[in-house]
Amino acid sequence: MTDQYVETTSQSWLSRLAGSLAGVIVGIVFILISIGVLFWNEGRAVQTARSLAEGGKVVIDVDPNPIDRANDGKLIHVSGNAVATAPLVDQEFGVSIVALHLDRVAEMYQWKEEKHEETHKSLGGSEETTTTYTYTKVWSDQAITSQNFRQSGGHSNPSKKYGSFDATAADAKLGDFHPSARALDLLPLSRPLQIDGTAADKLKTRIANIQVVDGKFFIGTDPDNPQIGDYRISYLTAPLGEVSFVGRQAGSDIVQYQTKAGDRLLMAASGDETAAQMFKEAAEWNLYLTFAIRIGGFLLIWLGTYFILRPLVIVADVVPLLGSALAAGAGLIALALAIVETAAVIAIAWLWYRPLVSLIVAAVGLVVGLGLHQVSARRRALASTPKT
């Protein structure tokens, strides 16, 4: 179910200009924050890459039993069948299962607000904005604050009564090892828990309108027609079985290993994974995270640069057609500047964190550039030579 609320507002040219001048400060702040984040990200990526390389060289494979005390303090890789006996219990809903980790996901049916704006400029630089607020009912495990909605009447969300819950096996064993909660919490929650159809019967005296639908608790009148404030409670588990860990051996526990490069290493995976596989996956994640932060930093610089150029666009908006053309141009200029600024920050960071690699890349780029210049010069010379 959706409904909409439409609001039209107007803003004078002077008001828009004043707002854009304030936006210049915001733009500068965005750029400064992005420069800091991009510079930090390169250092983080290098440190993690070096830590993983260091760990990959010193990690040793060990048997889960018996524990060799000579390996205490060393970076180990161990795989095997993880077991536990004591069940993990969610007292609130009476759910019990023997697993390595149990996680409750509590979704509430709520109103969600989405905003869409359309702007029309007028001669003289004033601007009229039509804002459409769309309200949709959604399942969400996060509480959506309806008090901040533009049209809160008729779209009120109740406070969230049921939240998340998690539990980790305290008696988990991997051979003679007893991995702590810190290690077990790194295991992926790969298996949904199907709740028994009769589980709701024990709760009906305490929780009204509770039933089990498709292996999940449903709290409400009609699961086919949920209402605002209804709940859907599900569970995910890290099951018993084959697991793999990389970390420092500390007695019978597996904890973080401090590398000389700076990172602390502790990894976990479902299934029988080799140390090489686990380090490869960690390196791939580091690469993905590095590029994701680079893209985020670039976008923030682009936005900040556009904010700085925006007053020029507002001035030109006295003639809407001219302002629109300048806005497109400002966007392209901001894009070009953001590319240059981002590349410059990354290059400086490389020079700081990886001077040798940076100099090699610069030298290769210089050689390629000179080569292209010579090829271009030869082509121009050939083109200017008169034919006989």
Any domain includes 142: no
Any domain includes 7: no
Beta-sheet strands, E only, within the chain = 2-11, 60-61, 75-83, 88-90, 95-97, 101-121, 127-140, 165-168, 173-174, 191-193, 210-213, 216-219, 231-238, 241-250, 253-255, 257-258, 264-265, 267-270
Percentage of the chain modeled with pLDDT above 70: 89
Same domain, 231 and 176: yes
pLDDT at 365 over 60: no
Same domain, 199 and 105: yes
Question: What secondary structure does DSSP assign to 156-216, as a single string?
Answer: PPPPP----EEEE-SS-EETTB---HHHHTTS---EEE---TTGGGGGTTTSTTEEEETTE
Any domain includes 199: yes
Q: What is the pLDDT of residue 23?
A: 86
Same domain, 217 and 361: no
What six digits make up the tokens of 184?
């077990």
The number of distinct structural domains making up the chain is 2
Name the residue among 325, 331, 328 with its Cα closest to residue 299. Answer: 331
Contacts by residues 358-364 (CB-CB < 8 Å, ≥ 24 positions apart): none
For the stretch 271-309, pLDDT in tens is 999 999 999 999 999 999 999 999 999 999 999 998 898
Same domain, 165 and 305: no
> Number of C-alpha atoms within 13 angstroms, CB side, residue 144?
23
Q: What is the pLDDT of residue 356?
A: 73
| Cα 197 from Cα 311, distance rounded (Å) | 63
Q: What is the pLDDT of residue 333?
A: 84
Same domain, 41 and 66: no
Q: Are 217 and 231 in contact (CB under 8 A)?
A: yes
pLDDT at 160 over 90: yes
Same domain, 103 and 202: yes
Same domain, 37 and 72: no
What six digits make up the tokens of 52?
């993983």
Residue carrying structure tokens 């526990």: 253
3-state secondary structure of 157: coil
Same domain, 220 and 349: no
Asked which of 219, 245, 273 is the last residue of a domain, the reply is 273
Any domain includes 283: no
pLDDT at 327 over 80: no
Range of the domain at 157: 59-110+149-273
Indicate the pairing of strand 88-90 with strand 95-97. Answer: antiparallel
Rg (CA), the chain: 30
Same domain, 246 and 102: yes
Q: Model pTM greater than 0.85?
A: no
Same domain, 266 and 295: no
Same domain, 309 and 355: yes
Same domain, 155 and 191: yes
Any domain includes 25: yes
Percentage of the chain modeled with pLDDT above 90: 65
Q: What is the pLDDT of residue 6?
A: 85
Please list the residues that pair with 82 across neighbouring strands: 174, 241
Q: Which residue has the higher pLDDT, 263 or 11?
A: 263
Range with top average pLDDT, 7-21, 56-70, 314-328: 56-70
Any domain includes 355: yes
pLDDT at 346 over 60: yes
Any domain includes 2: no
Any domain includes 127: no
Q: What is the pLDDT of residue 379?
A: 65
pLDDT at 313 over 80: no
Q: What is the pLDDT of residue 192?
A: 96
Residue carrying structure tokens 């964190």: 353
Per the prediction, the chain carries an average pLDDT of: 89
Name the residue among 277, 263, 12, 1 with its Cα closest to residue 129. Answer: 12
What six digits make up the tokens of 222?
């009609």
Q: What is the pLDDT of residue 89?
A: 97
For the stretch 230-242, pLDDT in tens is 999 999 999 999 9
| Cα 177 from Cα 240, distance rounded (Å) | 15
In which band, very low, low, confident or very high, does the pLDDT at 128 lie, cut at 50, 70 and 90?
Answer: confident
In which band, very low, low, confident or very high, does the pLDDT at 315 lie, cut at 50, 70 and 90?
Answer: confident
pLDDT at 265 over 80: yes
pLDDT at 152 over 60: yes
